[in-house]
């Protein structure tokens, strides 16, 4: 029997980026807020500055920051005719846990989606016709909001993080040195771009010679000391090369810990309970209103936390699972096409090119999470797709994320994967090689979805989440196109001796790491028959339930998702404060 606790205005299930944003926004509006985080407390200085933050073996390979799959996992398959099996080892994506979630170990790559990304269905339909948007059983949809609606919230996140970069489209005027394809920005970036090392500089020169318009990657690795609007101070990046999969002990990377927590933890109307896993959203008998959540603490004690507003702010996969376990919304059935919860799961399509030099030293250990030069000519619909057999695209970047000596060893084509010859090639090329990343989109397809596994259960007896996903020919053709374009730039780089193309081929595999950019399953839309939440991330079925995160994406764009995840969270918080609290109920009528 769960112990009843005193009621609060809002309860947050999960405390990563979106939980921190909603917590700060709602506490500032005067609400009493309780956040429930299933992982442990984690703070930047104590956990990373003094505990070997640059320990690649501990953090990358022994997964110190990530979810323990012996405690909680999901099942995986490519198609519905296969048996789904539990993911026993972290691979394709690295699930975060603890305060700050996956935002602790991200690269801080901060992107805004393209205007055409927000209207993926109607834009491609109008330009390429019905066949283009229905090929490969695609189920893509438009976002239910416009660029003008979301842009101010992108700007809020940039200011929070102190994003470093250069505007390419400032109030509708194209600027030299920035991304000319981006939507109109209301302001310049808070901080200037990071200083570029040798590799990205050579890449930029080659790209310009090919007629492209390279620009510095926008990043939450701050290029100079910065104080954000909440008074949180970030230190200048030291280019140590340990961002991705690591916490930052220098206060140089934007995370919930460095940008929001110092402010939020001083609020008397905010409570954070760690090691508290939400089991279910409780609802009224008719299922139309959430009454709170049931959760269990580390001692195995169950509690019921009543709340006027329930916000799912865990990682996308957990949010979908909680919706399904709580029986909120109709689960998606890929055979009939009916239902919406779990529908339109998507991922990212990664390819790359390794570039080798004979007499140039790249110093790969000088790095940061988003230290890169980028070209965007082949992202979204920035190029003509006529006759290519796919829609979507991605950015091409020479990223210097760091020369971590276990993870980042590149050897030329034809070298064995182990043995004496491999060792010689690894030693020879460590300082003389760079990697060009092709970060591509994934369109939504009828057969890619999330549901509850009928066989496997967790330690609480609940069904595990089941993921059914594979790349289609749309993604494979797009990836090959991007890799070929990247190789073309690579061959134009000064002093290059060889290139190695790494295409994305065959079925998706959970084994090798790709990205932690899982999306869909609680997608947003204009009506409840085609979406789980409305434009404010409010559940169509339970109007005092709001669902954050990349689950809202109808399909995944070529960019990293966090900037859009945060912008949608700010957009939702604004609607809760200025509309819902004044008149509780549906913010959009079905």
Question: How distant, in Å, are the alpha carbons of 118, 506, 541 from that of 349?
Answer: 19, 12, 33
Which distant-in-sequence residues (6+ apart) come within 8 Å of 129 by Cβ? none
- CA of residue 434 relative to chain centroid, distance: 24
* Catalytic positions: 517
Ranges assigned E (strand) in 190-237: 215-216, 226-227, 233-234
- How far is Cα 173 from Cα 288, in angstroms, rounded to an integer? 47
Nearest in space to 218 (alpha carbons), one of 256, 165, 268 = 165
Q: Quick check: helix, strand or coil at residue 329?
A: coil
Q: Do the strands 433-440 and 394-399 form a parallel or antiparallel pair, or are they unpaired?
A: antiparallel
- How far is Cα 527 from Cα 24, in angstroms, rounded to an integer? 29
SS3 content of the chain, % helix, strand, coil (to 5): 25, 25, 55
Dihedral over Cα of 191, 195, 200, 203: its sign: positive
Q: Which strand (E) or helix (H) includes residue 10?
A: strand 8-13
Bridge partners (DSSP) listed for residue 451: 466
SS (H, E, C) 395-436: EEEEECCCCCCCCCCCCCCCCCCCCHHHHHHHHHHCCCEEEE
SS (H, E, C) 355-404: EEECCCCCCCCCECCCCEEEECCCCCCCCCCCCCCCCCCEEEEEECCCCC
Residue the block writes with tokens 């394709």: 92
- How far is Cα 92 from Cα 469, in angstroms, rounded to an integer? 12
- Can you read off the two tokens belonging to residue 570? 């700010």
Residue 67 · residue 78 · CB < 8 Å: no
Which distant-in-sequence residues (6+ apart) come within 8 Å of 555 by Cβ? 120, 140, 141, 344, 346, 441, 442, 443, 444, 519, 520
Question: How distant, in Å, are the alpha carbons of 13, 61, 264, 303, 546 from that of 7?
Answer: 15, 42, 20, 12, 18
């Amino acid at each position: 029997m769960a112990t009843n606790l005193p009621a609060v205005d809002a309860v947050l299930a999960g405390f990563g980026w979106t939980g921190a944003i909603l917590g700060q926004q709602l506490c500032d509006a005067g609400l009493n807020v309780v956040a429930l985080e299933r992982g442990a407390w984690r703070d930047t200085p104590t956990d990373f500055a003094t505990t070997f933050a640059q320990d690649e073996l501990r953090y990358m390979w022994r997964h110190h920051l990530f979810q323990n799959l012996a405690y909680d996992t999901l099942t995986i398959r490519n198609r519905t005719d296969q048996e789904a099996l539990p993911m026993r080892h972290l691979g394709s994506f690295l699930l975060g846990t603890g305060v700050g979630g996956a935002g602790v170990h991200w690269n801080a790559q901060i992107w805004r989606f393209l205007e055409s990304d927000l209207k993926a269905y109607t834009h491609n339909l109008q330009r390429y016709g019905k066949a283009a948007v229905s090929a490969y059983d695609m189920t893509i949809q438009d976002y239910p909001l416009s660029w003008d609606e979301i842009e101010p919230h992108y700007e809020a996140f940039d200011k929070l993080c102190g994003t470093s970069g250069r505007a390419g489209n400032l109030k509708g005027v194209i600027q030299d040195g920035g991304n000319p394809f981006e939507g109109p920005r209301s302001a310049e970036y808070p901080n200037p771009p990071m200083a570029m090392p040798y590799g990205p500089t050579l890449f930029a020169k080659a790209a310009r010679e090919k007629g492209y318009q390279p620009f510095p990657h926008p990043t939450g690795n701050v290029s100079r000391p910065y104080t954000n609007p909440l008074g949180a101070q970030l230190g200048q990046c030291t280019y140590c090369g340990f961002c991705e999969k690591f916490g930052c002990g220098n206060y140089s990377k934007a995370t919930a810990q460095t940008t929001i927590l110092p402010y939020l933890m001083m609020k008397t109307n905010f409570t954070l309970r760690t090691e508290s896993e939400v089991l279910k959203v409780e609802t009224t008998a008719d299922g139309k209103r959430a009454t709170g959540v049931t959760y269990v603490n580390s001692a195995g004690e169950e509690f019921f936390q009543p709340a006027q507003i329930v916000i799912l702010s865990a990682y996308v996969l957990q949010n979908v699972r909680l919706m399904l376990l709580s029986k909120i919304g109709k689960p998606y059935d890929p055979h009939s096409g009916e239902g919406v919860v779990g529908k339109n799961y998507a991922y990212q399509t990664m390819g790359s090119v390794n570039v080798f030099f004979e007499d140039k030293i790249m110093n790969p250990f000088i790095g940061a999470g988003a230290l890169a030069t980028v070209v965007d000519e082949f992202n979204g619909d920035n190029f003509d797709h006529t006759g290519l057999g796919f829609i979507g695209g991605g950015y091409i970047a020479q990223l210097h994320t760091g020369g971590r000596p276990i993870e980042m060893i590149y050897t030329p084509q034809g070298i064995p994967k182990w043995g004496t010859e491999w060792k010689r090639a690894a030693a020879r090329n460590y300082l003389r090689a760079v990697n060009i990343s092709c970060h591509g989109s994934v369109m939504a397809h009828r057969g890619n979805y999330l549901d509850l596994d009928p066989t496997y259960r967790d330690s609480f007896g609940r069904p595990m989440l089941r993921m059914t996903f594979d790349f289609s020919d749309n993604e494979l053709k797009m990836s090959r196109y991007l890799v070929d374009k990247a190789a073309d730039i690579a061959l134009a780089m000064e002093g290059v001796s060889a290139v190695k193309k790494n295409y994305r081929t065959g079925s998706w595999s959970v084994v090798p790491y790709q990205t932690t950019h899982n999306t869909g399953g609680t997608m947003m839309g204009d009506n409840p028959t085609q979406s789980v939440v409305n434009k404010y991330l409010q559940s169509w079925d339970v109007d005092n339930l709001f669902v954050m995160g990349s689950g809202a994406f109808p399909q995944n764009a070529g960019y990293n998702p966090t900037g859009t995840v945060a912008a949608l969270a700010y957009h939702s918080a604004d609607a809760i404060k200025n509309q819902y609290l004044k008149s509780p109920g549906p913010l959009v009528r079905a």
